[in-house]
Amino acid sequence: MAGIHAAGYVKNGMKVGLGTGSTVKYTILELGRRIRNEGLIISCVPTSISTEKLSIEQGIKLYELSILEGLDLVIDGADEFDENLTLIKGGGGALVREKIIAQASEKMIVVADESKRVEKLGKFALPVEVIKFSWKETQRKISEITNIEISRINRRMNNETNEPMITDNGNFILDLSLEEINNPSQLENELIQLAGVLDCGLFCDIASTVVLANPEGIEIIEKRA
């Protein structure tokens, strides 16, 4: 419901970022239907290889972000969001590309269900994308700045191969079990200052609207002024 509803924000001629995940899949399917049945013309940028594949199957025209010189909006999912529309993202492993595309967009639409709404971020493990080189040292430094044990900073594994998961950028992901995050923007800044960190899954002051599906239907949550 949320994924299909979010597709309604897309108008003819728009430049659109397409997110990653199970909910955004339905946005992409609906956009494909509108292209075929309604003649919708849009230019899109995918946030992951999996999104790129699905978009091509749906007949959606894809471009490099630099060619489009900014986007009108991006539609993406979230693993958690709070009342300020600060997000945790990266459960699907595409957090860096998702953030690049979100920051290039005038508006970010988040599609989610009620389970993703929280009072305080942190129950969902925070993903941090790190380069492979000396990743254990990066893990140690993250432990220092977050004051959590290294045993709660886990390198993400591929369940099918039992090998470390490799992102589309060729890196590892460390998942931080923090329980709660009191100052998301401060934590984001501290993490991305570490040399081995490419980025983290905290999205602060980026999302503008959440399209939330709950048992009563669709709820639209707008960022406070």
Please give the sequence-ordered ranges of beta strands (E in DSSP) within the chain, or none if there are none.
15-18, 43-46, 73-77, 80-81, 87-88, 108-113, 126-130, 153-155, 157-158, 163-164, 172-176, 197-200, 202-203, 209-214, 217-222
The answer to whether the CB of 180 falls within 8 A of the CB of 122 is: yes
Q: Given the residues 30, 80, 98, 129, select the one marked as catalytic.
A: 98
98 catalytic residue (yes or no): yes
How many residues in the chain?
A: 225
The answer to whether the CB of 98 falls within 8 A of the CB of 200 is: no
Look at the block and give the residue holding tokens 């998942």. Answer: 175
Q: Classify residue 118 by its DSSP letter.
A: -
Task: Give the active site residues.
Answer: 98
